[in-house]
Amino acid sequence: MPTLLELANESDSILAFEVREGCIAEVDGRVDALRHKILGWRTKYEGTPAEDEALDRIWVNLLRLGLFNELRFLANDRALPFRQEIGTFLEYAATQFADCEARGRAYRAGHPTTEIFTMGCIVWGEEYIRNFLRYNVRSMLSDGNLPALAQQGQVVFSIVTDEAGKQRLSTDPIFIELSAIADVEFTIIPDQLIEILRQGHLVRNFYILYGMLDHCSIYFAEGAGSHLFMIPVDCVVAEGTLANMANYRHEGYEVCGGGNLVAETETFLPALEERFAGEGPIRISTYELASLAFEHRHHYFQSQVIANENKDFGRHPRELFWPVEGGVEIHSVFIHPLFTTASGLAKYRRKHFANIDYGMIPRLFTRPDLIKLMDPGRAYVNNFTAGHRRYETTGRSFTYEDFLRCHDWTYPVQKACFIQAQRLPCRLVGYTACNDVVQDVREINALFGVNLDPARAAGA
C-alpha cells in the first residue's frame, strides 16, 4: 500500500510525463493506475511534516490530473486533513458541477434545434461588477458582437457570482439591456467561499481554486451541448470580435484565443470613459483599442516586448511581442481559450480542474491543427489589470535561454502554437526593434524541438 509521499511522487511523475509527451494514451493509463491506488488507499495518516507536505502536493496534482472525485474520496472517505478551504471548495464544486450540467441539459431541451453560445464569466465585488458592466458588457453590446452573435444562435450568459452580485447585476440598466439579447443563468458562490477568494493572490494556489469555479460554466455548456465563450470580465472586446470568433468554427477550428497589450486599469479606464461616456455600447476597432491600451500599457506588456528599450525582460512570459511596422507581432505559447466549439468541448473528458489558461487546451488537442491564434484584425480582446501588479523579471534583455527555461512545464501542443503569428495593428511609439522576428521565431521553434508523432497522439 503506497504512502502519502509515494502518492504525491507518483502524481508528480505523471504530470511531468504528460507535459513532456503530451496528453497521449499512455498518460491515461498511468492516471487510471493512480486512480485505483487512491481508491484502495488505507495507509494510516501519522501527521508527520513529510505527510503534510505531501498532502499539499496531492490536492494540487489530483485537480490538475482531473482526479476530482478521487480527491474527494481521500478528503471524505479517508478523512485526510487537507487545508480547510480545499474541503470547502470541493464540496461546493461537487454540488455545482452536477447542478450546472443538469441546468445545461434543461436549457438544451428548451432549444432542441438551435446552436447555443454560452458566455461563461466569474465576477463579484462592486469594483469588478462595475468594470464588467461599464466596459466589458458595453463593448460586447456593440453591433458586431452580441447582436451579431445572436443572429447565429441562442446566447446565454453563465454568470458565477455571489448573492449580492446577482442583486447588483439584475437591477443595472446595462444588464437589463444585456438581458434583452441573451438569457442569463446564475451560479451563486456562498459567502464562505467569497471570503476566501477576497484574499486574492494572498491565497495559496488561488488560480487553482478560481479554475474550479470556471468549470461551473464549462459543465453548463457541456450539458447544453453548446459552444463556449470564456471572455475575461476585466477586458474590452473590439467591434466584430464575438461574431468573428464564432465564425472560426466554419473554417475548421475548434478553439481560438490570442495575446493582447494588457493595459493599466487606473489610467486606461478613465481614458475609455472619456471617449465613451454614457451608458451606450462601446464600439471600438482593434486598432483604436490596442492603441489606447498601448498608451496605458501595463508592466505585463512592457516586460515582454523585445525592443532596445527593454533591458529587464519578464521571467515567465507566456507570449512575446516584437515591434513591427504598423504595430506589434505577437507569438503566444499558451492562450486563454476564448472560444471553444461544442465539438471541441466534447473532447474535454479528463478535465484540468485548475487554471484553464494553462491546462484546458492540451486536454482537448494533441496537435495544433484545430487551434487558431486569432487574427487581431478580426477578433481582439484587451485585458486590463491593476498597476500595482508586477511580474518577475530577469534583470537583463531577452535571451533564448531565459525563454526556454521558463517553458520547461509547457505542453508540446502549446509550443507548437508558437509559430502562429498574430499581427496586432496599433500606434506603437517609443519602442525600436532589436531582433528580427522571423529569425527569432524560427530559432525558438527549432529549440523547442517539438515532434508531434501522429501515431502516439492517436490514442489521446
Query: Per-residue confidence at 278, pLDDT binned at 50, 70, 90?
Result: confident
Give domain status of residue 291, yes or no: no
Q: How many CA atoms lie within 13 A of 14 on its CB side?
A: 28
Mean pLDDT of 233-245: 98
Mean pLDDT of 258-267: 97
pLDDT in tens, 311-320: 999 999 999 9
pLDDT of residue 186: 99
Calpha distance 322→440 (Å, rounded): 10
Give domain status of residue 324, yes or no: no
Residue 98 burial (CB count, 10 A):
12
pLDDT of residue 238: 99
Calpha distance 279→175 (Å, rounded): 11
What is the amino acid identity at position 441?
V
Give domain status of residue 53, yes or no: yes
Question: Given a cut of 80, is residue 346 above it in pLDDT?
Answer: yes
Query: Per-residue confidence at 452, pLDDT binned at 50, 70, 90?
Result: low
Give domain status of residue 348, yes or no: no
Query: Per-residue confidence at 455, pLDDT binned at 50, 70, 90?
Result: very low
DSSP state of 137: I
Calpha distance 15→12 (Å, rounded): 5
pLDDT of residue 1: 80
Which candidate, 149, 60, 39, places its Cα nearest to that of 358? 60
pLDDT of residue 196: 86
pLDDT of residue 203: 63
pLDDT of residue 199: 76
Give domain status of residue 301, yes or no: no
Structural domain including 46 reads 4-82
pLDDT of residue 334: 87
Calpha distance 312→89 (Å, rounded): 38
With a pLDDT cut of 70, the percent of the chain lying above it is 97
Contact between 107 and 224 under an 8 Å Cβ cutoff? The reply is: yes
Q: Which three cell numbers stand for residue 195?
A: 471570503
Give domain status of residue 295, yes or no: no
Determine if the pTM surpasses 0.85: yes
pLDDT in tens, 29-73: 999 999 999 999 888 899 999 999 999 999 999 999 999 999 999
Give domain status of residue 445, yes or no: no
Give domain status of residue 65, yes or no: yes
Question: Given a cut of 60, is residue 287 above it in pLDDT?
Answer: yes
pLDDT of residue 391: 86
What is the amino acid identity at position 10?
E
**460 or 427, which is more confident?**
427
Mean pLDDT of 180-192: 97
Number of domains in the chain: 1
